[in-house]
Structure 1
Amino acid sequence: MPSFDTVLEPNLVEVRNAVDQASKEIGTRFDFKGSSAKVEIKDKEVTLYGDSDFQIGQVFDVLNAKLSKRQVDARFLDAAKIEKIGGDKVKQVVTIKAGIEAELAKKITKAIKDSKIKVSASIQGDTIRVQGNKRDDLQTTMALLRKEITEVPLSFNNFRD
């Protein structure tokens, strides 16, 4: 039976490269000289540091530009609130989304069921397996999900006949 998996997977190597490039640019830019502006990455969390909310915004813009040059979708980023860390310094933690959460998985399966396409969707951990009798139905389902689910960049893999 033909099937495919719907996943939410960022390219973490490209994310790390973008963070490294952003860090280099922040170190050389004139408007960041003498400030505490920097970017760090640990696992799936990027931490932005700066002297003010405005500077954090500028650091985030630099990071976003580097990510877009490396074809990493900005919708993978989930920015938390800016928090003070002593003195006049601030930081912001940006989480990189990976894996489909339960709420989004339910929304995806509901969209597939409401479409009346003859496929079945099942939640399997942080992926969603979609099965159908015809390859055309699966391709129609992919198009539907690209159109309906816009808050995250879904990708489709493990396509089998």
Structure 2
Amino acid sequence: MASEYSFDVVSKVDMQEMNNAVQQALKEIETRFDFKGSKSDIKLENDQLIVVSDSDFKLQSVVDILQSKMIKRGVPILNLDYGKIEPASGGTVRQVIKLRQGIDQENAKKINILIRDSKLKIKSQIQGEQLRITGKSKDDLQSVMALLKGAGLPLELQFTNYR
């Protein structure tokens, strides 16, 4: 029996599922009556989405459709970082939405403080864009998972590499 158990806390977006959500959203936009003749489009480039539409209202509708498709495919919408809506060519508006991959230092420190304040016999260490949580008891590790799920952090967390 192992003397120490551990798991990693990560925050990442599955790009294949993200691509599928974008394709489904585009398909719905093509078939919807309220988007007939509009110049609405979604492009996935590297770690960002570029959403284009005729007006602010239609752009918000496109983003809503995209979010619903992301939720259905299990893609975390908390990892979206919305840019401001800006005018684009041809009388359209554009919004750049960045996909956050990994846990930034600020949120990693918040997670460390949450774990330390829980008074559990757990060690946590920041390893780049993820955290490694170790402890002698599996129950304590599961308590930490429940604590982090209920913490209301501004990003979606996944728990991997459970040993």
The percent of aligned pairs where both chains have the same amino acid is: 44
| Range with greater deviation from structure 2 (122-131 or 30-39) | 30-39
Letter in 1 for 2:64: D
The alignment status of 1:32 with 2:35, answered yes or no, reads yes
Letter in 1 for 2:111: I
Any runs of at least 4 consecutive aligned residues in structure 1 with deviations exceeding 2 A, and if so which?
none
Q: Quote the offset at 1:31 in angstroms.
A: 1.5
**Aligned partners of 1:13 and 1:29: how far apart in 2?**
25
- CA positional deviation for 1:86: 3.1
Q: Which runs of 5+ in 1 are unaligned?
A: none
After superposition, residues 1-161 of structure 1 pair within 5 angstroms as: 1-160=4-163
Q: Normalization by structure 2: what TM-score?
A: 0.93
- Residue type of the alignment partner of 2:146: A
- 1:48, 1:56 within 8 Å by CA — same for their partners in 2? yes
CA offset digits 1:50-88 (Å, max 9, x no partner) = 111111001001111111221223212221111111342
Q: Secondary structure of the equivalent of 1:123?
A: strand
In structure 2, how many angstroms separate the alpha carbons of the residues matched to 1:68 and 1:99? Answer: 19
TM-score, length of structure 1 as denominator length: 0.94
Deviations 1:13-34 (A, max 9, x none): 1110010111122122222122
Contact 1:108 1:149 in 2 (8 A): no
Aligned pair count?
A: 160
1:69 & 1:157 partners in 2: Cα distance? 22
CA contact 1:130–1:138 (8 Å) conserved in 2: yes
- 2:152 and 2:9 map into 1 onto residues whose CA distance is 12
